[in-house]
Amino acid sequence: MNDEPLKIFVYGTLMRGLSRHHFMTDGRYEGEASAKGRLISLGEYPALLDGAGSVRGEVYSFDDLPAALDVLDDVENFDPANPESGEYVREARRVVRDDGEEIRAWLYVYNRPRENAPIIQSGDWRRQP
């Protein structure tokens, strides 16, 4: 279990100033970072897909990480007991902080067909058109 991340990377409405940030209030903001992947818009919120590119977001730490993950799993429609059933899958991924440090962090990857969802070229939900 020691290889499990101790941080959470968020890239959408959970970021500071956005509609679901209140779910992050028990966390400590640790700065900006990027994760490999592509960002698509699902209308009210984004989704991270595997692929070339970089997705911008924020890194957080929590005193009680299991409790924070319980809350965020619900927010992201992820069921750890049946991972493939939800809208998102929580995965441990490499994230690069803006200072260049590489860390492992939990993040949520979209688990549905993309269909015609537009790609957010900047990789930053805050900079979408």
Q: How far apart are CA 48 and CA 69, in angstroms?
A: 18
Percent of all residues in the chain with a pLDDT value above 70, rounded to a whole number: 98
Reported in sequence order, the residue ranges of 1-129 that DSSP labels E, i.e. its strands, are 7-10, 27-41, 46-62, 88-97, 102-110
Task: List phi, psi (to 5°) of 73.
Answer: -60, -40
Q: How far apart are CA 46 and CA 30, in angstroms?
A: 21
Q: What is the mean pLDDT of the chain?
A: 94
Q: How far is CA 118 from CA 35, 36, 129, in A?
A: 19, 18, 11
pLDDT for 4 equals: 83
Report pLDDT digits (tens) over 58-97: 999 999 999 999 999 999 999 999 998 999 999 999 999 9
Domain boundaries, the chain: 7-117
Q: How far apart are CA 87 and CA 33, in angstroms?
A: 23
DSSP 117: P
Nearest to 89 by CA among 102, 72, 103: 72
- Classify domain 7-117 at the CATH superfamily level: Gamma-glutamyl cyclotransferase-like (3.10.490.10)
